[in-house]
């Protein structure tokens, strides 16, 4: 088991992620309730099955296993909601690796930047392209975006 | 992916499974709805994460991955309902391997015999200790027994 500690930010609308390192991700959820999520992800040529516990603040338990891509493809067909599609850009900033997810499909228009921390109190310098922090806003969890995609949100933001 | 094709029977009340090969099993469900189940199982010194699709008759898709026992122990803590406990006896009969599960805990009193088939039409000879077939009775799925254990059933059988 690992502990995932991450902060999550919206990205300014005029930011165009430009990285050498990018990967297409398709992921879907076999289960996504407040207490636990079971995710199947295909990222490039690899696939993973990932179980996460309920978050406590910005931390949660994570169990991740590599699985055959073909299994993942079939399991995505068992998912509760349609798969999430995004391109993940890895961007180095101030010695940290930022993951910037540019969503497409039903979540097109959404760009989320994530940074993994070694502990919940770690101080990180923020790039000037990040906007509002949404670390504890469940709507921006990928599991919630699968269930209630961005394109269906009302104009309440 | 494998396809699991199995028949399931109740076992006569006077049958005492006596096998050299038996294993203690603890298993719990991260998700168990009619469309898919995600099971964590510890059986002896091994642990597995298993995803199964909705059954079609007596068949369903199954994806199984061995995982560290310690991960499984922790994931059982994330399960939706309390874990199922049972001892599985492997009994050879007529060239086939029968799995006879003697439940304890909240499902004490229940003994279920299962036989895996190579195809749904395979004819198997039944041992004289099996009783009623319950292959398509969802209540006897382990995922349903986790949610609605045998000890809580009314006297409606």
| C-beta atoms of A63 and B80 within 8 A | no
Rounded to the nearest angstrom, the minimum Cα separation between A76 and chain B is 11
Q: Is residue B157 part of a domain?
A: no
Q: What is the pLDDT of residue A127?
A: 96
Distance between CA B77 and CA A87 in Å, rounded? 33
Structure confidence at residue A157 as a pLDDT band (50, 70, 90)? low
Distance between CA A89 and CA A29 in Å, rounded? 22
Q: Is residue B65 part of a domain?
A: yes
What is the per-residue pLDDT across A99-135, written as a single tens digit (0 to 9) for each?
999 999 999 999 999 999 999 899 999 999 999 999 9
What is the per-residue pLDDT across B122-151, written as a single tens digit (0 to 9) for each?
999 999 999 999 999 999 999 999 999 999
Q: By 3-state DSSP, what share of chain B in percent is helix, strand and coil, each rounded to 5?
A: 15, 50, 35
Instruction: Name which of B28, B29, B30, B41 to mutate to probe chain A: the one with the most chain A Cβ atoms within 10 A of its Cβ.
Output: B30
Distance between CA B140 and CA A155 in Å, rounded? 47
Q: At A139, which CATH number?
A: 2.40.320.10
Q: What is the pLDDT of residue A155?
A: 60
What is the per-residue pLDDT across B19-78, written as a single tens digit (0 to 9) for each?
778 999 999 999 999 899 999 999 999 999 999 999 898 899 999 999 999 999 999 999
Rounded to the nearest angstrom, the minimum Cα separation between A1 and chain B is 6
Is residue B150 among the annotated active site residues? no
Domain count, chain B: 1
Rounded to the nearest angstrom, the minimum Cα separation between A9 and chain B is 27
| C-beta atoms of A65 and B74 within 8 A | no
Q: What is the pLDDT of residue B156?
A: 53
Q: What is the pLDDT of residue A89?
A: 96
Distance between CA B39 and CA A30 in Å, rounded? 12
Please identify which of the residues B11, B17, B29, B86 carries the catalytic annotation. Answer: B29
Contact B117, B129 (CB under 8 A): no
| C-beta atoms of A61 and B78 within 8 A | yes
Coil, strand or helix at A65: strand
Coil, strand or helix at B140: helix
Nearest residue of A to residue B53 by CA position? Answer: A78
Does B18 have pLDDT greater than 70?
A: yes
H helices, E strands: number in chain B: 2, 9
Q: Is residue A121 part of a domain?
A: yes
Q: Is residue A117 part of a domain?
A: yes
Distance between CA B144 and CA B135 in Å, rounded? 13
Q: Which of A44, A25, A60, A47 is nearest to A145 (CA)?
A: A25
Mean pLDDT of B100-106: 96
Q: Which two tokens stand for residue B130?
A: 């099996």
Q: What is the pLDDT of residue A150?
A: 95
Q: What is the pLDDT of residue A17?
A: 82
Q: What is the pLDDT of residue A154?
A: 73
Q: What is the pLDDT of residue B16?
A: 85
- ipTM score for this prediction: 0.90
Q: Is residue A131 part of a domain?
A: yes
What is the per-residue pLDDT across A46-97, written as a single tens digit (0 to 9) for each?
999 999 999 898 899 999 999 999 999 999 999 999 999 999 999 999 999 9
Q: Give the single-character DSSP code of A56.
A: B
Place of tokens 């995505």: A76
Per the rule left: phi > 0, alpha: psi between -120 and 50, beta: everything else, A88 is beta
| C-beta atoms of A65 and B65 within 8 A | yes
Residues spanned by the domain of A127: 2-152
Q: Is residue A68 part of a domain?
A: yes
Cβ contacts of B38 on chain A, cutoff 8 Å: 30-31, 38, 51
Contact A98, A21 (CB under 8 A): no
Q: What is the pLDDT of residue B128?
A: 95
């Amino acid at each position: 088991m690992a502990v995932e500690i991450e902060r999550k930010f919206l990205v300014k609308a005029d930011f165009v992620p430009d990285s050498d390192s990018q990967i297409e991700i398709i992921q879907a959820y076999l289960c996504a309730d407040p207490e636990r999520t079971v995710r199947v992800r295909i990222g490039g040529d690899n696939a993973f099955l990932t179980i996460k516990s309920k978050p406590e603040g910005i931390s949660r338990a994570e169990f991740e296993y590599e699985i055959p891509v073909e299994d993942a493809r079939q399991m995505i067909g068992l998912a509760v909601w349609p798969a999430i599609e995004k391109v993940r850009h890895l961007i180095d900033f101030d010695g940290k690796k930022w993951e910037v997810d540019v969503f497409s499909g039903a979540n097109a228009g959404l760009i989320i930047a994530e940074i993994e921390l070694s502990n919940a109190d770690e101080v990180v310098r923020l790039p000037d392209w990040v906007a509002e922090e949404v670390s504890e806003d469940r709507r921006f969890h990928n599991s919630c975006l699968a269930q209630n995609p961005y394109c269906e949100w009302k104009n309440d933001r």
